[in-house]
Structure 1
């Protein structure tokens, strides 16, 4: 999948621009795998969870949109108490909590910050700041794909 970058005003008063990536609708509708598969499983060394991706349309194949949507929904899912021990060592969990706090502090609205704190750590926090999805590569199992994340 390719992204089409274009510059958009980030802060008109300062005249700065930042890249905005747009997806072509046709690219989103393409099969995410070759050959097309009805479902795939995404795994990542940094996450104890697997992400099951299924076609959003019955009896069809997994599309690029389905993959992006599944990743987004999964990473926005709160970590429940029973899952917390899966998040590595006590030191790993401390780093996850620090990542959570940094994410919450970046929210501009005080009400939104308070609201987010009540919802707990989310799975994205377990990436400890590695929020740039570099690539998704096949594994030895034809239905399992490995996500590789890096720091922005």
Structure 2
């Protein structure tokens, strides 16, 4: 079965959506004024799928995306599911599984940088207490560039970031 990703989610060097994956989905803006906000409610794939799996070279986890309402995954489900999955706290074992001490340091630096961007001191303290999150494994690659197909089946898509 051939499955196509929604054009708003497809990988391109000039993404259709301006989105920093370290930020809340409410910060998304269309890259082109002609893009309608209704695209968020459209099916993420053609044909529509009941779930999709996201993978990344930077993450040791697969992100399972399920529909919030209805029978198929929407563009909004992908963005919101990715955000929720990347906000999960990293365990000590997951951190220790990084390939090198320098990789661990890059992830720790990304965590420090992410927390430093929070201006409100009490909110910053709360975020720091939560510890490393999956998003920190992207290090400094937070710009969503879209999803691309993988050889692992029509429901598995690779997250591209820069």
Q: Do these two structures clear the TM 0.5 threshold for a shared fold by scoring above it?
A: yes
Flag the structure with larger Rg.
1
Mark the CA change 1:3 to 1:83 in structure 2 (over 3 Å): closer, same or farther. closer
Q: Which moves more between the two structures, 43-52 or 106-115?
A: 106-115
Higher strand share: 1
For residue 68 of structure 1, give the secondary structure of its aligned residue in structure 2: helix
- Structure 2 distance, partners of 1:29, 1:113, is 33
> Scaled by the length of structure 2, what TM-score is found?
0.76
* Distance apart, 1:3 and its partner CA: 4.1
- Structure 1 distance, partners of 2:94, 2:36, is 36
The aligned length equals 135
Structure 2: state its 5+ residue gaps.
1-7, 9-15, 19-26
* Distance apart, 1:70 and its partner CA: 0.6
Is 1:78 matched with 2:120?
no
Verify the 8 A CA contact 1:38 1:54 in the aligned structure 2. Answer: yes
- Structure 1 distance, partners of 2:150, 2:120, is 42
* Distance apart, 1:134 and its partner CA: 0.4
> Scaled by the length of structure 1, what TM-score is found?
0.81
Q: Which moves more between the two structures, 103-112 or 127-136?
A: 103-112
Match of 2:4 in 1: none
Equivalent in 125, 134, 137 of residue 114 of structure 1:
125
Structure 1: state its 5+ residue gaps.
5-18
Query: Which residues of 2 match residues 94-113 of structure 1 at below 5 A?
Result: 94-113=105-124
Mark the CA change 1:41 to 1:132 in structure 2 (over 3 Å): closer, same or farther. same
Match of 1:149 in 2: 161
Verify the 8 A CA contact 2:148 2:158 in the aligned structure 1. Answer: yes
